[in-house]
Amino acid sequence: MTIGKYLAFFGAIALVACERTDAEPKFRSFDLNLVHPSQNSTYIGVSPGTPKADLPRLRHLKTGDFSEYLREKTGCVVDRTRETHVIGRKRTPAGYMVPIVCL
């Protein structure tokens, strides 16, 4: 009987552990339009790829995941020492100007 209780308890814990997802978004799931005006520009425009598409939150743009996504797409990484600017209203942004460093 006690073995059955332990199996049920640990089985429930295993299901809960498998059900958890990452709190951080995966940037490949967003439809983003990246505008890099020139090779020497220090900011890149990030906007929705289609009308009414979701944008990542401002705080997620400073993460390593977004920096890795940018490196794959453009060869540049996010400059975390400078401020990211919102295009439009802060509550419903039309896009962001993200500081970058290209090597």
pLDDT digits (tens, 9 = 90+) for 9-20: 666 665 555 555
pLDDT at residue 28, as a whole number: 61
Rounded mean pLDDT, 59-66: 86
CB count within 10 Å of CB 47 equals 17
Q: How far apart are the first and last CA of the chain?
A: 64
Q: Give the whole-angstrom CA distance, residue 25 versus residue 14.
A: 23
Helices (H), 1-103: 2-19, 64-74
Can you give the pTM of this predicted structure?
A: 0.68
Residue 86 has pLDDT above 90, yes or no: yes
By the 8 A CB rule, do 24 and 66 touch? no
